A and B are shown apart, each in its own frame.
Chain A
Amino acid sequence: MPKREKKESMKIVPPGKKKCVWMEAGVVSYKLCDNNYDCPTCVYDHAMQTKVDRQKEAALTRPIEASPDQFTHSWVDKMMRLPASKRKCRYMITGEVDRKICPNAYECGTCSFDRMMQQRLQAEPLPVKTPAEVAGFELADGFYYHEGHTWARPEYGGRVRVGLDDFAQKLVGRLKRIDLPHIGHQLNQGETGFTVTRNGDTVGVLSPVDGIVSRVNDKILNNPELINRSPYEQGWLMIIEPTKLRKNLKGLYYGEEASSHIQAEKDRLFEVANEEFRMAADGGESVEDISGEMEGEAWVKLAKTFLRSQ
């Protein structure tokens, strides 16, 4: 039965992608989330909800036949039909908690577990799978990378966490200070979002997305070395409420593209750092602190070149 097999294989969710709640509940057979589980702002969720409401109304006046493209139940209706022990909490569906049964009939807006999770998820960086090594630099999987070496990671609820990538971290080295914008500040993709300072020299870093700063990582203000120790987790910088996420993500590197970008940047870094004559080096990882080998003017020049800032 090859036909059936095909249908099954279509339901495979690619790694790194997540099922839409409408798929999880079994209302639709295949739909991936493309809005970071921010259902209130999701066009698809709205359209589905409208469809369900309309068909529910129609069902009141005349009985309708069951057919695959008619939806008389929303995902919440479907989930509520399951035995209580099968009603997965939305944080379980998205993998943020291992096992959690919905305690509040999917009324997430009034759920205290939901509120706790929202706050916790903002404060704690999500765990990162062991980052891949590309050209001697670590790249975290599932992150989007700006050419100016910041990363953006869309998270639950449509927020975006932002940080410096491993290349930037090694490039700028041990920082004396990092100045992050205030909460409520508007950032624009490709424009200076914050600054880093070392040995009295300050360089701007570009924001990877457009949006409003909703939280900054207080821990790194006193401990900038967290950025060096853990650029993709503990060293995160801020959380942004994006305003043009879908458009912004298209302007960022992801997956294979991110790898190619880092490889090219390594070669370029080598050229810039050794510009007296053209040469190519083959081998190792970069030293932990690239700028430790070049102070003052050289540091500013190198940082500005690769962070693409003025």
Chain B
Amino acid sequence: MISEGGNAHLPLCVMICSIGPVDPFVRDQVAECVSCQCRLPCRFSPEMTTPAYAFDEKRQQYNSKLILRYLMDLNHRSLRFLAVTQLDLFVPILKYVFGLAQIEGQCAIISTYRLRPEYYGHAPNPALFMERVKKTALHELGHTMGLTHCRDRRCIMHSATTIEDTDVKRARFCPTCHEIFKWQLEQYVS
């Protein structure tokens, strides 16, 4: 069982994996952002097929908890495993999610479905879209490093209920969250 966070022998890297088709450019940008902001190298693992097991007929969305569960049962040779998908995700209780992550665990998943300006009836804006994708990815990675939600609205770890919340945040950790992130990471290095 490698789902717990304290596996110092795992390669210090983040594995990024598409679930269903994802624009390789999006994947590359996420990798670049993660390696730059978190000082963690990224690798790509082969694309996984669309998870039919997680499709909810009633909601016409994919249950992200089931996907996360599935990911947690796999044997990953990386410190963290970040899945990226274009599918519309939900969890029981919430109408939709931008992302879901284990707290202090190995796995997280983000969805780009509700990050495109087009989804909200706005003109396409690739730069804004990529900004949102990066923020969501960093945020979920933060959770896997044990960070919980931060009260600072500008901090990447502030909870995003709506896309406006995402847009208000900056793509970086506030000093406190940064310190915790760094400290957690050091635990794995030593």
Contact = CB atoms under 8 A, between A and B. Distances in A.
Interface of A: 133, 135-136, 260, 263, 266-267, 269-270, 273-274, 277-287, 290, 293-294
Contact of A282 (B93, B97, B102): B97
A287 B91 contact: no
Given A263-B159, A282-B140, A287 B94 contact: yes
B101 A290 contact: no
B161 interface: yes
Nearest to B59: A287
A284 B104 contact: no
B44 to A, nearest CB: 23
B101 A280 contact: yes
B102 A290 contact: no
A270 B93 contact: yes
A285 B159 contact: no
A280 B143 contact: yes
Contacts of A135: 159, 161
B136 A282 contact: yes
Contacts of A280: 100-101, 103, 143, 148-149
B91 to A, nearest CB: 5
Nearest to B140: A282
A279 B93 contact: no
Contacts of B99: 281-283
A290 B159 CA distance: 20
A278 B92 contact: no
Nearest to A260: B151
B122 interface: no
B83 interface: no
B161 A279 contact: no
B105 A281 contact: no
Contacts of B98: 282-283
B161 A277 contact: no
Contact of A279 (B103, B139, B151, B162): B103
Nearest to A137: B161
B95 A281 contact: no
